[in-house]
Chain A
């Protein structure tokens, strides 16, 4: 089975802090994604990566950056955390274009609170 592991289930940080959310997948997937999920708004894409060191902005990239130095790991960075970034963050991975029929697999999520 595919395993997507997010480093923290719950995280509490203060405004202005730099926050790192980590995600690791064990299936050698080329694509990795970061979403946030908010009540009434559903899931929205922040960033995705289709290869090591490659990244593309999603629908709501403002205030975030990402890092993919190794194929299995995709990090989401909140440069200067703000209260409106309090949310559930979900990481996902999938095969590349050549096998793009394959489903996306999600981690258990990180519930982040910014105080």
Chain B
């Protein structure tokens, strides 16, 4: 059964620092991987989606990479800002059929000014 793990569970950094959030999955046979952001008490906002055939995706200060063979993905945030403070979740889609995502439990990021 596919399991998704995110380490660390929480991270605190000063403003301006570059940082990496980690996501690992146990079964490399994934269809795609999606990174989300969740603000306290709110829903999920999709940040980046990487297809299984891709190695990375970029959006602004965010860069997500995927290494299927090792079962890992990273989310790189450049020049962090206090507004980046949130919980970041990764999720994998295990097949092409329209079934749901398997989520990690998230990394809660706090960026101090």
Contacts and interface: CB of A to CB of B under 8 A. Distances in A.
**Main secondary structure on A side of the interface with B:** strand
B interface bracket (residues with beta carbon within 8 Å of A): 20 to 34
B89 to A, nearest CB: 7
A106 B98 contact: no
Interface in A26-73: 30-31, 33, 35, 40-43, 45, 48, 50, 56, 58
Interface string B35-71: 0100001111110010100000000000000000000
B96 A111 contact: no
Contacts of B46: 103-106
Interface stretch (A12-20, A76-84, A90-98): A90-98
Interface of A: 4, 6, 30-31, 33, 35, 40-43, 45, 48, 50, 56, 58, 90, 92, 94, 96-97, 100-109, 111
